[in-house]
Structure 1
Amino acid sequence: MARTVDQARHEARRLVIVDAALTVFAARGYDGATTAAICRQARIGSGTLFHYFPTKLAILLGILEYGTREVRESAAAYEGREDPVGVLLEIVGRSADEAADPRVPGFVRAAAGVMHLPEVAAALEADADAQRARLRPWVERGQELGEVRTDLTDARIVSWLMLLTDGFLERVAAEPGFTAAGERDLLVATAREFLHPGGRPARRGGRVSR
């Protein structure tokens, strides 16, 4: 009789490995990280590790995929909200909160070192697509309600919001004195001003042509 798989246990063990790998990649970079070090951090044997992830690259891709899944799942949490600007600013603030994990700067640098690989580039693009899909409906709704600027298309506004959050993450990773916790409020304030320059009401129901 085939052995059944406890999906909850399987997923929990996979998450332990991902979390351990995040710690190791952050500390050692991609090239310096080893599967042996990840096994030690996760307190598992190599056989268990390779059952879940056959290669070191597969582990890094697993971390990126978890991040993308969290973006998609968080999008559902905003359903039913009636304050589009509030949602957009929460999303921006959430990106800063996630960047406050002390392992994030090191992991960003580790991933940047292998982003030329097709698999990594595809994983990063999937994450970007998920972010666009999370932001765009709220930008559109904000424009319809006259709460978000209408001199730019919704697509351009989404791109600029992603530029703000991605650039923020890059600064956190590259500049030791630039901390996520210390700069979070300014990031959110910058996003608020961008969405509604000078506090001026946008044209209610107005949309720019594509």
Structure 2
Amino acid sequence: MPKISEAQRETRRQQILDAALRCFSRDGFHNTTTADIVRESGVSQGTLYLYFATKDDIILALADDRHQSEAFLDALAMAEQDPVQGLLTLVDLHGRGLGDPRRIDGRRVGVQGWSEAMRSPAIHDSVVGGLKRVRLGIERLVARGQATGQIRPEVQPEAVARMLIAVFQGFVLQVAWGETLDLPACGRTIRDMIGALLTPKGRETYAAEFPDPSPQA
């Protein structure tokens, strides 16, 4: 039997994962069988098992791929020289993703993954580990902003990170439900929340975006 190249292996793996994503989004994890994924993907049952031993392995692979995609966006934000701009970039990039209709299957499956994390230790570790990487990145941005005097010193970086993640998870859930969100308005509100973290120096730097809310004499 001729060997297939690494590129061909990756293409076949992605073919299976794309089919699984559609099946899971449409029918849920528990109502989807590996036979359903085989039919959707067009590969044989034996080929599927060459890549994934169990359905949980497929769920984990989808979660890991999503984390890698999000890690790229997070890296762009963390690379900003100005930490406040990094926070704004993070909100903007993830907001754009929420509004992308091509990602709805991923959002629906992601929400199901949160539920599966209560059942499977492996899925729990993947989900929580992915969120931890994001949380630590946000904490570093906030700490950098405090070091530059742009973010108030009494602010707790971990609390800010957990708040932003919780807000984003809430939006993901609403999008997965099929609700219509005014994402620009939601984005402006999150920016206002970030503005409330700033010192006078930070507001001076971002005067156009975060005007001083104090009453004028």
Give the TM-score, by structure 2 length.
Answer: 0.78
Amino acid at match of 1:111: G
Higher relative contact order (CA 8 A, sep 6+): 1
Which amino acid is 2:41 matched to? A
Which 5+ residue runs of structure 1 have no aligned equivalent? Answer: 205-210
Q: Deviations over 1:177-202 (max 9, x none)?
A: 23xxx432233222211122197626
SS in 2 for 1:120: helix
* CA distance, structure 2, for counterparts of residue 186 and residue 69 of structure 1: 28
Please list, as runs of the form range in 1=range in 2, the aligned pairs for 1:63-102 lying within 5 A after superposition.
63-78=62-77, 80-99=79-98, 100=100, 101-102=103-104
Which amino acid in the other structure matches residue 93 of structure 1? D
Q: Percent identity?
A: 25
From 161, 185, 198, the equivalent of 1:158 is 161
Compared CA separation, residues 136 and 102, structure 1 to 2 (3 A): same
Deviations for 1:124-177, whole angstroms, at most 9, x for unmatched residues? 111111211332222222222333343321111111111111121122223x32
Structure-1 residue corresponding to 2:206: none
Q: What is residue 195 of structure 1 aligned with on the other side?
A: 194
1:129 partnered with 2:129: no
Aligned-partner Cα distance in 1 for 2:187–2:149 = 20
Q: Which position in structure 2 is the counterpart of 1:208?
A: none
Conserved 8 A contact 1:149-1:202: no
Residue in structure 1 matched with residue 171 of structure 2 by the alignment? 168
1:55 and 2:54 equivalent? yes
Distance 1:149 1:12 in 2: 48
Distance 1:109 1:79, change over 3 A: closer
Mapped to 1, the partners of 2:11 and 2:104 lie a distance apart of 22
Q: 1:144 aligns with which of 135, 142, 147?
A: 147
Q: Aligned-residue CA RMSD in angstroms? A: 2.7
- State the one-letter code of the partner of 1:98: G
User: Looking at CA atoms only, which structure, 1 or 2, has the larger radius of gyration?
Assistant: 2
**Aligned partners of 2:51 and 2:196: how far apart in 1?**
48
Secondary structure of the equivalent of 1:31? coil
